Structure 1
Amino acid sequence: MDWLVLFTSGLFEAVWATALGRSNGLRRFVPSIIFVVASLISLAGLAWAMKTIPTGTAYAVWTAIGAVTTTAWALATGAEKATTMKILCLLGIVACVVGLKVSA
């Protein structure tokens, strides 16, 4: 259950990162509210998961899920250009997260 919570909170990290990028320095109301709410949910989920998952592993997985999901969203929406190197690096991050889960 804690791994599912950690994964979900990593997805919320991608939500708050995307909302923060669209908030224009926290000047736009709706993206700013989404940023605050998603941040709270994401951090609460991370804290919950860290009750049983070691801190280093939990934080690395949480950050990686957020980074990969945020970048994948940006690629899918055309906000960032997809390159072979970028895709390979994202796959490398995913492989490392799987390795952390397997070794935990």
Structure 2
Amino acid sequence: MAWIFLIVGGLFETAFAFCLGKAKESNGNETVLWYGGFLICLVASMLLLIKATQSLPIGTAYAVWTGIGAVGSVIMGIFFFNEPATFWRMFFLFTLVSSIVGLKYVSAG
């Protein structure tokens, strides 16, 4: 169950990065709403990370959580913010994913 909390927490981390990107593109009251979404996602992400670390090693949990957020943010950037999907970006993204999966398999919990 801790891994599920961690994965969902990482997805909320991706969501708060997305909200920051949308807030940057918006103006007026819409900006305030995106920042509100950012705060909600931030709190949810942190609470889920806290819950996951109650039974997973902190080093592994934090690395996986930030990795999910980093991978998710890059993918969001490509699909929603017209960031480039170059060979090297994709190469290093796949090595990051491989490392996250590897950490999961070598960790107790």
Smaller-chain TM-score range? Answer: over 0.9
Aligned mates of 1:57, 1:82 — CA distance in 2: 28
- Structure 2: where are the runs of 5+ without partners? none
Aligned mates of 1:49, 1:78 — CA distance in 2: 31
TM-score normalized by the length of structure 1: 0.93
Identity %: 35
Partner of 1:88: 91
Say what the alpha-carbon RMSD is for the aligned residues: 1.2
Residue identity opposite 2:70 in structure 1: A
- Structure showing greater Rg: 2
Partner of 2:20: 20
Mapping for residues 42-61 of structure 1, pairs under 5 Å = 42-61=45-64
Aligned mates of 1:11, 1:58 — CA distance in 2: 14
How many aligned positions are there? 102
Q: Which runs of 4+ in 1 moved over 4 A?
A: none
TM-score normalized by the length of structure 2: 0.89
Secondary structure at 1:34 match in 2: helix
Partner of 2:3: 3
- Structure 1: where are the runs of 5+ without partners? none
> 1:79 deviation in Å?
2.3
Are 2:79 and 1:99 equivalent residues in the alignment? no
